[in-house]
Structure 1
Amino acid sequence: MKRPLRDRPDTGHVNPRHPLRRLLRYGRAYRQQVWMASICSVLNKIFDLAPPALIGAAVDVVVQQDASLLARVGVRGTFAQLSTLALLSLIIWGLESAFEYAYERLWRGLAQKMQHQLRLDAYEHVQELELAYFEERSTGDLMAVLNDDINQLERFLDVGANDILQVLTTVVAIGGAFFVLAPQVAWWAMLPVPFVLWGSIAFQNRLAPRYAEVRDRASFLNARLANNLSGIATIKSFTAEDSELERLARDSDAYCQSNQRAIALSSAFVPLIRIVILIGFVATLLVGGLAAVDGQMAVGTYSVMVFLTQRLLWPLTSLGQTLDLYQRAMASTQRVLDVLDTPISIPSGQLALPVQTVCGEIDLRDVTFSYRDAQPVLEQFSLHVPAGKTIAIVGATGSGKTTLVKLLLRLYDVDAGTIALDGTDIRRLRLQDLRRAIGWVNQDVYMFHGTVLENIAYGSPEAGFDDVVAAAKMAEAHEFVSCLPKGYYTIVGERGQKLSGGQRQRLAIARAILRDPPVLILDEATSAVDNETEAAIQRSLERITRDRTTIAIAHRLSTVRNADCIYVMDRGKIVERGRHEELLAINGIYAGLWRVQTGLQTMEMDRKR
């Protein structure tokens, strides 16, 4: 179920250089599970560090016997002391295993929940952005954000968060034990820790821009692949396979190079840290050994410190891999949360509009609109469409016809003026209600990968099989669908590539018919069909448009000659209006277009020759 934007976790308006802070603010809803997973990680590490202490106690029992620490607390006899240590070992190992199982499940479960919800939230937010956002970004780039970047965050939550907690627990627990057992040696054991932490921070700051570049290169590569796979037919027809392979190779090489620059730096972390750690280990070995020989430290305590020094320092080398995961995840988190922070420039209104109450009267008053950084497409444009009438809008390409459709659906918002449906400004209406009231048959028909049945019923999930068939018959699609290998259950392929352009267009008309909207927009609805199919569709459209507000946008004037009123647009303005016969009588732009399309002008020129 989708969560309304107002109910989503707050990403906050924080400094974009701190993606972790933004992620923590987003993850407030998972606070309880984070605490539980963190506690299990800490307890697992504490019990994991206990066996060296048991080994030291065992050595103490063997060497000191009745003078050992266990004897001093009341456990007498060597066998009893060793049995006690054996029982403690079983308990500690059991608890360590139990908490390891718990933190594995909790962290991985948290990773799954967060990546799932983050992907849904990001996708839902993207769906609510204006059309201009998609025109300025590639599909591959968005795919990289919604898939690869979120998966990168999941990998870090799977293991990285637990590793960081356990390293911190190790430093605190062992450091505290050292200062209690042998403060004179503890300083040497703890000496490398500040240098390791300082080195980690320094590497993090230098790695961050390199991994940001890696994610950007990955997006470019995804964009190239998505673009080429979508246009594979064009690539083949122009025999451009070799040149596209070279372009892909350049993008892939750029991605590899950026990754190698990041790897070259991150790989240096562990060897450098090992040298620092080795100094602390050798110092503990020598200084502690001399203290044990001089009798300043018990042999058992010395053995515990040697074991714990290794347990303290060597795990710090894993910070390199953890740091690598962290920086990749933060670079990805930055990109995902930037998408979530993209403002919605076309907010939904709050006024409900039940579809059954819509009459379909449309009124555009003094509308001005321009695409970003471009000249106005419409300027002081006004148009009135009576309810239940069919009007046609014709004109040359670029005159603003399709822009009107996008404004009616609020895919864009007007710069000035108003558009009203049944007397109500459409900006006050709920977006879903507005778009449910309008059926749009676009000239660029999009079919989803699925069956014919699913594509016709798209947007009308409550429709039954008989309803789908009835809509297909009205759209003159039933006959060709019945001839398909599996009829209505035939897979149409991605973007409907298994169907012809005319077949896709008839399915799109059937889709709109099934939805039964009070307002129907036909944007070049018969542009991809032959003359015979066009005539059949025209007959069905006469039935479909009856008692329904219909706006037909067409280049082929034969499809709109029966409209109640035809508007001729030129450069964003209405220059002629009237019925078909009236416009022919005016002998203006419409009449000239009519003569060109029907061949009359060509015939007249032939006579003059």
Structure 2
Amino acid sequence: MHPLKRLLAYAQGHRREIRAATLYSILNKFFDILPEVLIGAAVDVVVRGEQSFLAKNILVGVGITDTWQQLLFLGALNMVVWMGESWFEFLLELKWRGLAQNIQHELRLDTYGHVQKLELAYFENQRTGSLMSILNDDINQLERFLNGGANQIIQVVCSSLMVSAVFFALQPGLALIALLPVPAILFGTFWFQKRLAPRYAEVREAAGDVSARLNNNLLGLATIKAFATEKLEADHIAQASQGYLESNARAIRLSSAITPVIRMGILAGFTATLVYGGWLTIHGDLAVGAYSVLVFLTQRLLWPMTRLAEVADMYQRSMAATQRALGLLDTPIRIAYEGEHFPVAQARAALRFEGVGFAYAEQPTLQDLNLEVPAGQTVAFVGSTGSGKSTLVKLLLRFYEPQQGRILFDGRPISELNLQDLRRCIGYVAQDSFLTDGTIAENIAYGMAEASDAQIHEAARLSESLEFIARLPLGFATRVGERGQKLSGGQRQRLALARAILKNPPLLILDEATSAVDNETEAAIQRSLNVVSQGRTTLVIAHRLSTVRQAHCIHLLEHGRIVESGTHEQLLAQGGAYAALWRLQTGEL
């Protein structure tokens, strides 16, 4: 489907506003061309006096035949026309710009909301910067078109119809000659427009490449500086920007040719009216006033068509951008949010994995995994990198769906549960926890807007965060910076744990939560966990075996399978892979 049709289908909720805006554009153009008619009428009054068309056909009923009175009438009418044109100009600007803002706002929110519902597998093949380009710049392109381009298209069509009607009413023969270039102008515009479409699609893709590269480099600026690769990355940006420049240049070369072509058509139409209309007037076949009207109307009709080049350019840019935005909105959501609602407060978080299998591409990560986690127990998963520990948690959170088997939560398959209810039952602390660019208090209460200051303070105490928060300039009101960059890694992890504690979920998951912190922070987090894990199901993924010694059960994974299970003491007594790993980490022989 053409992107314009798709856009109109998307904007169905604004049909009433679109109709009103279109009406204002038409009325504005009607009043806009009337001054030319009044100029012709004034010339006719001055030349013919009481024998003018106005005196003999319009004002005769009210007894106005005097030349001066006719001019006064035209002056008053001119004021009404200009006020009408200005009023509808105000209304159309108000309506079209309001529509542009509303549709842009709704499309951005709908698209972002849709993106949030996509499974993580989708983002593995996407670049964040490219998505940012769609959500920001592409949707802004649509706003620019709706702000002015839609009105210009409507007014070009209306002026063509209105002026043509006047022409044929005054002099049909001249109308055919003067308006003959119009179809050629429109055909040429559409011809260029069709060839511009793929070029602007290429421009939008190139813009996405630039945005992706910039986003990647800004996020990795510390690494770039550490490796002294500023020149290398500047060259990469220059390469991406050069691609954008060249794509734009190819589009500009074509779009720049539209205006000269249109001007040639305008020249032909205006010259025909000027010369042939003058010849008819000299020979008495056309009144002087009518000749004046036609000359001015030809200019009023044809010269605005030079803006078709600008409109066509704006239109194709916006349609290419709209296609990308609506294409993103069409991306299927493969993990359904809907499902059976259940009261989070009554959840026990008893888990069972039945024959669960999962693979990234062709590489198996979990194979026929069977596991039961009783409610209220702390269960740990250890093993080498790539053994499937984090994948197990991601399946439980439904970031991905199992390709074989199923996972049960309190005896019910998680695929049948409402996704938001399921995730409200889970407190998740990852290795690299996300912090917003807000205050300490806002980050602890993330997702818990109703939390009181006392509850936030207690969560900070339980996560052993109070000491470092007290040293900050504004305490709980201190802003942490983008992604928490003003804090150390250990401080960020303590806030992430405080956030999970405040949520008070029946299921707590720690995915390598202490792997990137110092020994002191690890010990503090471990003390907090010993407190907060009481009475709730807790899953701990760790490389450091010292952090999981107190777990009710420890599972060792290798190549997506559980190869050993038991308590710390039982596993050491078995003398297997776990015991060997323990000796390696502790230095015991």
Q: State TM-score, norm by structure 1.
A: 0.95
1:99-178 alignment runs, 5 A limit: 99-178=88-167
- Once the two structures are TM-superposed, the CA of residue 24 in structure 1 deviates from its matched residue by 0.9
Q: Give CA deviations for 1:521-564 in whole Å, capped at 9, x if unaligned.
A: 11122222322332232222111011101111111111111111
d(CA) in 1 for partners of 2:44, 2:519: 100
d(CA) in 2 for partners of 1:536, 1:243: 41
Partner of 2:213: 224
Q: Give CA deviations for 1:447-494 in whole Å, capped at 9, x if unaligned.
A: 211211111111211111121111111111111111112211112111
Q: Secondary structure at the match of 2:336?
A: coil
Q: Secondary structure at the match of 2:508?
A: strand
Partner of 1:34: 18
Residue 404 (structure 1) aligned with residue 392 (structure 2): yes
d(CA) in 1 for partners of 2:229, 2:148: 44
d(CA) in 2 for partners of 1:202, 1:285: 29
Q: Secondary structure at the match of 2:159?
A: helix
1:246-325 alignment runs, 5 A limit: 246-325=235-314
Residue 597 (structure 1) aligned with residue 581 (structure 2): no
- Once the two structures are TM-superposed, the CA of residue 279 in structure 1 deviates from its matched residue by 1.0
Partner of 1:439: 427
d(CA) in 1 for partners of 2:587, 2:489: 25
d(CA) in 1 for partners of 2:96, 2:426: 46
Q: Give CA deviations for 1:237-280 in whole Å, capped at 9, x if unaligned.
A: 00000011111111111111111111111111111111121011
d(CA) in 1 for partners of 2:380, 2:51: 104
Partner of 1:48: 32
Q: Across the two proteins, how many residue pairs are aligned to each other?
A: 584
Partner of 1:506: 494
Residue 88 (structure 1) aligned with residue 77 (structure 2): yes
Residue 183 (structure 1) aligned with residue 172 (structure 2): yes
Q: Is the contact made by 1:349 and 1:427 (CA closer than 8 Å) also made in structure 2?
A: no
What letter is aligned with 2:28? N
Residue 394 (structure 1) aligned with residue 378 (structure 2): no
What letter is aligned with 2:182? V
1:420-569 alignment runs, 5 A limit: 420-569=408-557
Q: Secondary structure at the match of 1:162?
A: helix
Q: Is the contact made by 2:188 and 2:261 (CA closer than 8 Å) also made in structure 1?
A: no
Deviates more, 1:331-340 or 1:487-496: 487-496
Q: Give CA deviations for 1:141-164 in whole Å, capped at 9, x if unaligned.
A: 011000000000000000100000
1:229-244 alignment runs, 5 A limit: 229-244=218-233
What letter is aligned with 1:182? Q
Identical-pair percentage: 57
Residue 68 (structure 1) aligned with residue 52 (structure 2): yes
What letter is aligned with 1:19? P
d(CA) in 2 for partners of 1:549, 1:54: 84
d(CA) in 2 for partners of 1:580, 1:185: 100
d(CA) in 2 for partners of 1:534, 1:121: 41
- Once the two structures are TM-superposed, the CA of residue 80 in structure 1 deviates from its matched residue by 2.0
The partner residue of 1:413 within 366, 389, 401 is: 401
Q: Secondary structure at the match of 2:367?
A: strand
Q: Gaps (5+ residues) in structure 2? A: none
d(CA) in 1 for partners of 2:235, 2:177: 57
Q: Is the contact made by 2:196 and 2:254 (CA closer than 8 Å) also made in structure 1?
A: yes
What letter is aligned with 1:113? N
What letter is aligned with 1:525? A
Moved over 6 A (4+): none
d(CA) in 2 for partners of 1:525, 1:242: 35
Q: Secondary structure at the match of 1:495?
A: helix
Q: Give CA deviations for 1:364-403 in whole Å, capped at 9, x if unaligned.
A: 10111112x2222112111100011111111111100000
Q: Is the contact made by 2:36 and 2:297 (CA closer than 8 Å) also made in structure 1?
A: yes
d(CA) in 1 for partners of 2:319, 2:520: 59
- Once the two structures are TM-superposed, the CA of residue 86 in structure 1 deviates from its matched residue by 1.2
Q: Give CA deviations for 1:171-228 in whole Å, capped at 9, x if unaligned.
A: 0000111011001111111011010011011000111111111101000000010000
- Once the two structures are TM-superposed, the CA of residue 281 in structure 1 deviates from its matched residue by 0.8
What letter is aligned with 1:66? E
Q: Is the contact made by 1:505 and 1:528 (CA closer than 8 Å) also made in structure 2?
A: no
d(CA) in 1 for partners of 2:323, 2:133: 13
d(CA) in 2 for partners of 1:558, 1:62: 104
What letter is aligned with 1:482? A
Q: State TM-score, norm by structure 2.
A: 0.98
Deviates more, 1:524-533 or 1:511-520: 524-533
What letter is aligned with 2:145? F
- Once the two structures are TM-superposed, the CA of residue 444 in structure 1 deviates from its matched residue by 1.6
Q: Is the contact made by 2:138 and 2:321 (CA closer than 8 Å) also made in structure 1?
A: yes
What letter is aligned with 2:187? W
Q: Secondary structure at the match of 1:600?
A: coil
d(CA) in 1 for partners of 2:338, 2:289: 75
- Once the two structures are TM-superposed, the CA of residue 137 in structure 1 deviates from its matched residue by 0.8
- Once the two structures are TM-superposed, the CA of residue 578 in structure 1 deviates from its matched residue by 0.7
Q: Secondary structure at the match of 2:322?
A: helix
d(CA) in 1 for partners of 2:338, 2:285: 79
d(CA) in 1 for partners of 2:142, 2:35: 34
Q: Secondary structure at the match of 1:392?
A: strand
d(CA) in 1 for partners of 2:230, 2:262: 48
Q: Gaps (5+ residues) in structure 1? A: 1-14, 602-609
Q: Secondary structure at the match of 1:287?
A: helix
RMSD between superposed Cα atoms in Å: 0.9
d(CA) in 1 for partners of 2:226, 2:287: 83
d(CA) in 1 for partners of 2:579, 2:551: 16
Partner of 1:380: 368
What letter is aligned with 1:100? E
- Once the two structures are TM-superposed, the CA of residue 297 in structure 1 deviates from its matched residue by 0.9
